Structure 1
Amino acid sequence: MRPLVAASLVEAMSGTFAISLNGTTDLPAGKIAAVVTSLEMVAPPPRRADPPGVEGFALEEIGRADVARYLAVYRLLGERWMWFSRLVKPVEELQAILSDPAVEFFAVRFAGRDVGLLELDFREPNEGELAFFGLDESVVGKGAGRWLMNRALERAWSRPIGRFWVHTCTLDHQGAVEFYQRSGFTAFKRGVEVADDPRLGGAMPHRAVPHHPVIE
């Protein structure tokens, strides 16, 4: 989920209000909030071997015009963790991103189906972003996370970049930050993201992300 804000002021409804930097701030109904942690590396980390038993996993490039497949994988992974930025983006804007040669995106294949997504964004000079990284719950625990991170690092550092970064938030898996740190990333920034709840606008099912209940 791409951060929208990381400051002491956020847009809420039709006005602006201050977030307390030393206490609790009540949000209007219909809003969601998360703490975002950004992490980076400025050189390739020591390579870690693939775990045993991951020979059945493969990366398959998603066609740049195949928006339907991209969104199907995105929904498969993201409805547990409030991935919504691609769902609320106008189709023409999403198509422009996916058609940019500086953006790479792959489905993870296992047992004949799509079970993961890897998206790398090199549109900023001299840097790469691990834009989306996720696996279906059915393959978690099989070593696929380490396998996929190894592929991400290989592809990122094959480019002439000086920085590779990622962000995660408190709506994501609780082990995400530690996983990224074990992979060689170092935290460098923390912010607050506030947005309209995508379940109320119809972009996601009302039942999605039950650990972050809807407040109407």
Structure 2
Amino acid sequence: MILPDGYSDVPAGKIAAVVTHLEMTAPPARRDDPPGAWSLRKVDTPALDWYRDIFRRVGEDWLWFSRARMADADLAAIINAPGIEIYALTVDGRDEGLLELDFRETSQCELVYFGVTSGLIGTGAARFLMNRALERAWSNDVRRVWVHTCTLDHPSAVAFYQRSGFRPFRRQIEIADDPRLDGTAPRDAARHVPLIEQ
């Protein structure tokens, strides 16, 4: 379905976002790490409680909801699947960032989830995490690395990905139930997205 030009109504209780898909087909020039005491830890067998906690702490302000709504068995099947790699950005012994890579499609790597907690935004931690993500992604035999982000995310997300070497190639509209209305996210999450119930 192609949306018509002009305004299209979004039903009450729903959220809408413009999703931008970005890709790179060759390793980009390496960017220097910013100064900071961060490290990357591979999480070989992520516990569901751990994963749900870091997913919430990184994504709640941006209304990340897909994994939060999953049943335990479904979530465990994904995060423990062969070809999925999960990493935590750690600072002072605490996990404060999430990186999830998906190598299941031949010759491709998707950055499925990428982000740092709100206290680390603007500190250089995301640059450090992206440098590690691209090193890991391109260390496999891939021809393409891709990611998607949306207008619910941090306002600088698209620019950050472009500075990292990604180029946009597709745009979509996503409409979903507002996760603040079913308890998936707190009602005061993502204050930049108005809550419209009726």
Aligned to 1:119: 100
Aligned residue among 193, 201, 206 for 2:182: 201
Separation in 2 of the partners of 1:141 and 1:26? 35
How far residue 77 of structure 1 moved from its aligned partner, in angstroms, is 1.0
Aligned residue among 20, 24, 30 for 1:41: 24
1:160 aligns with 2:146: no
**Residue deviations 1:6-53, cap 9 Å, x none?**
x53xxxxxxxxxxx43011112111110000000000101111112x2
The answer (yes or no) to whether the contact 1:38–1:167 under 8 Å persists in 2 is: yes
Partner amino acid for 1:24? Answer: Y
In structure 2, stretches of 5+ residues that fail to align are none
Partner amino acid for 2:86? Answer: F
The alignment's TM-score, normalised by the length of structure 2, stands at 0.96
Aligned to 1:80: 61
Once the two structures are superposed, the pairs formed by residues 139-150 of structure 1 within 5 Å of their partners are: 139-150=120-131
How far residue 61 of structure 1 moved from its aligned partner, in angstroms, is 2.2
Aligned residue among 100, 107, 128 for 2:81: 100
Which secondary structure state, in structure 1, belongs to the residue aligned with residue 88 of structure 2? strand
Aligned to 1:188: 169
Separation in 1 of the partners of 2:92 and 2:123? 13
Separation in 2 of the partners of 1:77 and 1:187? 23
Aligned to 1:89: 70
Once the two structures are superposed, the pairs formed by residues 131-142 of structure 1 within 5 Å of their partners are: 131-142=112-123
Aligned to 1:178: 159
Moved more, 68-77 or 20-29: 20-29
Which secondary structure state, in structure 2, belongs to the residue aligned with residue 194 of structure 1? strand
1:27 aligns with 2:10: yes
Moved more, 84-93 or 29-38: 84-93
The answer (yes or no) to whether the contact 1:121–1:131 under 8 Å persists in 2 is: yes
In structure 1, stretches of 5+ residues that fail to align are 1-6, 9-19
Separation in 1 of the partners of 2:141 and 2:46? 27
Which secondary structure state, in structure 2, belongs to the residue aligned with residue 94 of structure 1? helix
The alignment's TM-score, normalised by the length of structure 1, stands at 0.88
Partner amino acid for 2:89? Answer: V
Partner amino acid for 1:27? Answer: V
Query: Over aligned residues, Cα RMSD in angstroms?
Result: 1.1
The answer (yes or no) to whether the contact 2:44–2:85 under 8 Å persists in 1 is: no
How far residue 140 of structure 1 moved from its aligned partner, in angstroms, is 2.2
- State, as a whole percentage, how many aligned pairs show the same letter: 53
| 4+ long deviations beyond 3 Å | none
